[in-house]
Structure formats: C-alpha cells, structure tokens
Structure 1
Amino acid sequence: MAEFMEGGCACGRVRFRARVDNDEAYLCHCRMCQRATGSVSIAFKGMKKADVVWTKGPDWYQSSPIAQRPFCRDCGTSLGFAFPDSDTMDLTVAAFDDPARFVPTRHFGVESMHRAWLNTDGLPEMRSEDNPEVAERWARVTNDRPA
C-alpha cells in the first residue's frame, strides 16, 4: 500500500517527502558505499526519482564517474545514492523519520561484505540511556533522557 513518508538529515536542513509503495529495502556492502558512509554497509530504499520531493534540498557529491550522492553539508548525513541518467534512486533507510516499516530483502555489493557484522545476535546489548556517560551528558544539556 502506497503512503507518503518524510525524512531528512540529522540537523533538519535537508528534508524530503517520498511516495513509498512497499516495505522492501536492501543492504549495500560495496566499497564505494563503505567509503561514502564510513560504515560496513548501508540500508537503502529503492525509489523512483519522481516519487521523491526534496522540500529542503540536499547537496550532491559526485562519488564516482557514474554516481552521485545526496547529503547535508551542515551535519554530514548521507541521504542516498543515484545514477544521474536513471529514473530511480536510493534513499538511506535511516534518513526516514520512521524507518521501522522497512525490511531488508537482499544484499548488494557482496564482494566487499564483512560477514562478521551481519549476524550480531547474542552480543551484549545496551540502551543509550543505560550508559551513564551518555545519559549524564544528555541530561545536563537537555534535561531529558537520550533519544
């Protein structure tokens, strides 16, 4: 079922509204995505460019001879990936205001996959507010608990 979802960067300077018709997303493990995000993989939601409206536009980085990436120049948030000559693009799942809807359905760029980071079941888990250093700093500045 199609619905409109919103999202943007960490500081709020860049915002988008996207028409989303399914829950499918994917993980990209290619070296270009690893370098562009500083992570071992990135979760993407494939979209038609026509279904994405930038209400506050991003900056664009030419990340390779064939691709560019939207990002926020103020906070550094990575917002997606696009081939300039394509009708489709990817938005980062975490850039959506409510990313919980999306589920991974495939992997891409598996030649660079770091398998040790895929299944982390069984590792110790901690909530942000349970870390005294984080909680104390957050409370001191916001009078609230970490979000």
Structure 2
Amino acid sequence: MAEARSLTGGCQCGAVRYQLKRAPSRVSICFCRMCQKAVGGYFGAFAGSALDDLVWTRGQPSIFASSEAAERGFCSSCGTPLSFSYRGSGRISVTAGSLDDPAGYPPTLAHGVEGRMPWFDDLCRLSGTSTQDEIPPGEIARYRSRQHPDQEP
C-alpha cells in the first residue's frame, strides 16, 4: 500500500471537512445499483473505519436514508457524496475520493459485482489525454478550480 500522507478529507466546496483518527481498516468499491446512483458513477469507493474514528471538523453532512438499513452523508451545499453507513453498526465509510490523499488508500475488496459493467475491464486500456491537453491555451484561466483545496491552507 502507498504511504498514507493524510487522514483528512471533505467535500468539493469545503463546507464539510473531516478527519480520521486512524487509517481506514478496509477500502472497497461497490458496483451495486444503489451505490452507482448515490455517487453518480459506475461504482462507489469507500474507506471504512469505526464510527468513533471519524470527526467532522467543519460542518456536518446531510443524511439520506437510502434504505431501511443504510444511510449516506453528503454536502448539502455542493452535493458531494461523503459517507455510507449501516445504522447501528458502529462503523462508517467515507467516500474514498473525498479523502485529501485518495491514492494512499487503494481498494482491496469489491462488493455488488453483479452490477459491474460488462466493459469495465476495458477502461484502463482506453487511450487518453491529460486535463491540460483538452484546454485551449487562451482559456486556461476560465478552468481554474473553485474546489476547496486538498488539505487545509
């Protein structure tokens, strides 16, 4: 596993921030349809820990009960998905992409594989470009990110 540099994270706009007291005990992805809809992608990526290891350091997520058993936290200002938990389990998962250093926490397990797209294995073989390659030189300033920076300034 890559060396973990940060145990903090938050939403896109910075209204909700968190800190994990310990490194996640499990990082997984889930291909189930509920997770796909919750994150707006082909899978959800989650870093799980004990509920007591998560501290909301700025703001609080809004909660959506996605089933009778589970709830999901998100930023009500920008919509960033932030957490998933089974009620009463004593555990919570933050969305791995909301970590300030998501590269430090690769997934080791997949759930809901029945929902995996049949072409998923082909994704890493697609040709690609970097973000900067897509922006016309005279328009770079228009594309300046308004996201909250990873890490606190």
- How far apart are 1:91 and its partner, in Å? 0.7
Q: Distance in 2 between matches of 1:28 and 1:124?
A: 25
Q: Which amino acid aligns with 2:65?
A: Q
The corresponding residue for 2:119 is 116
* Rounded Cα–Cα distance in structure 2 between residues aligned with 1:122 and 1:136: 31
Pairing 1:119-130 to 2, within 5 Å after superposition: 119-130=122-133
Aligned to 1:132: 135
- Residue 107 of structure 1 pairs with residue 77 of structure 2: no
Distance 2:45 2:143 in 1: 31
1:60 maps to a residue whose letter is I
RMSD across aligned positions (CA) = 2.5
Aligned residue in 2 for 1:70: 73
TM-score between both structures, scaled by the size of structure 1: 0.85
Listed as ranges, the gaps of 5+ residues in structure 2 are: none
Q: Distance in 2 between the 1:54 and 1:100 partners?
A: 21
Structure 1 position 67, deviation (Å): 0.9
Identify the residue that residue 45 of structure 2 maps to in structure 1.
43
Tell whether the 8 Å contact from 2:27 to 2:106 is kept in structure 1 after alignment.
Answer: yes
Q: Can you give the 5+ residue segments of structure 1 that lack an aligned partner in the other structure? A: none
What's the CA shift for 1:86? 0.9
**Which structure's residues are more often strand, by fraction?**
1
**What's the CA shift string for 1:73-116, capped at 9, x where partnerless?**
11010012011211111111110111110111111011211141
The aligned residue for residue 96 of structure 2 is: 93
Distance in 1 between residues matched to 2:138 and 2:70, nearest whole Å? 42
8 Å CA contact retained: 2:26, 2:49: no
Amino acid of the structure 1 residue aligned with 2:38: A
Alpha-carbon distance between aligned partners in 2 of 1:23 and 1:89, rounded to the nearest angstrom: 11
What secondary structure, in the 3-state scheme, does the structure 2 residue paired with 1:100 have?
Answer: helix
8 Å contact 1:66–1:83 — kept in the other structure? yes
Aligned to 1:11: 13
Percent same amino acid at aligned positions? 35
- 8 Å Cα contact 1:3-1:21 kept in structure 2: no
Alignment TM-score, normalising by the size of structure 2: 0.82
Q: 2: distance between equivalents of 1:63 and 1:138?
A: 39
Number of residue equivalences: 143
* 1:75 alignment partner, SS class: coil
